[in-house]
Amino acid sequence: MSSLNDITLAEIESLRESVRKAHRAFGSWRVVGRRLLGMSGAYALRIATEPTFMPTAAVIYHWREFWQVLPDAPWKTTPKLMEQAWEIIKDRWGPQNAIYADKLAYKLKIIPRRARATVSALCKEGYPICSLRAKNGGYFRPESLEEYRKYRNRYVLGPATDALERVRAQEEHELEWFPAEDKNVMLIGEGIEQFRLAI
């Protein structure tokens, strides 16, 4: 059974400070409690603000295993993390073998947000990674060019093109909404054709 026998007061104080830092980063006690401690937002708030409130051994162990190694900016990635993530994803051939973001984060001992940032960085470096956007989605390596293009067009180019078209439509009317504003602005909509040619 878990106990507090192997936990020092200095470690508990370090946990309290990491909870405060996480709250400054995420701005939500609920998020901090769930991600950092595996508990509720109210629990995280008590740890951060009540010096006499003692976390359970299970919370300490959870924090040790997943969060103690994080830097002050836990949503950023590193070359080492990218290498480790690719080692995990590279053998996940096809959507049937996709790895969930939460499971990838578990294996890397980082938060899911940082795992997603790491995969995004890999994609920007040209690694062949596709992602599923469904409820139980994840990351996988496409088995063929056809499969890669299918997921690229559906989950990347489709939403990006749709967003640019919305911006262009709004820009056509923005001076009607804000007639007194500075008119010397860059129009994003003008770059849509260049975007389509590039893809």
Query: If you average pLDDT over every residue of the chain, what do you get?
Result: 77
What is the C-alpha to C-alpha distance for residues 11 and 27, in angstroms, rounded to an integer? 23
More confident residue, 161 or 81: 81
What is the reported pLDDT for 168? 78
What local confidence, expressed as pLDDT, does residue 71 receive?
47
Q: Exposed, middle or buried: residue 113 (CB in 10 Å: 0-12, 13-18, 19+)?
A: middle
Which pLDDT belongs to residue 49?
92
pLDDT band at 195 (very low <50, low <70, confident <90, very high): very low
pTM recorded for the entire structure: 0.52
Closest by CA to 29, choosing from 15, 40, 14, is 40
Separation of alpha carbons 83 and 86, rounded Å: 5
Residue 93 has pLDDT above 90, yes or no: yes
Tell me: pLDDT of 107 over 80. yes
Domain 79-140, CATH among 3.30.2130.10, 1.10.1740.10, 2.40.30.10, 1.10.10.10: 1.10.10.10
E strand spans, 14-143: 130-131, 139-140
Q: What is the mean pLDDT of residues 109-115?
A: 78
- What pLDDT is attached to residue 155? 75
Q: Is the pLDDT of residue 199 over 70?
A: no
Beta-strand pair 130-131/139-140: antiparallel
- Distance between start and end Cα atoms, the chain: 57
Q: What percent of the chain has pLDDT over 70?
A: 77
Could you read off the pLDDT of 40-49 as tens digits, one per residue?
A: 889 999 999 9
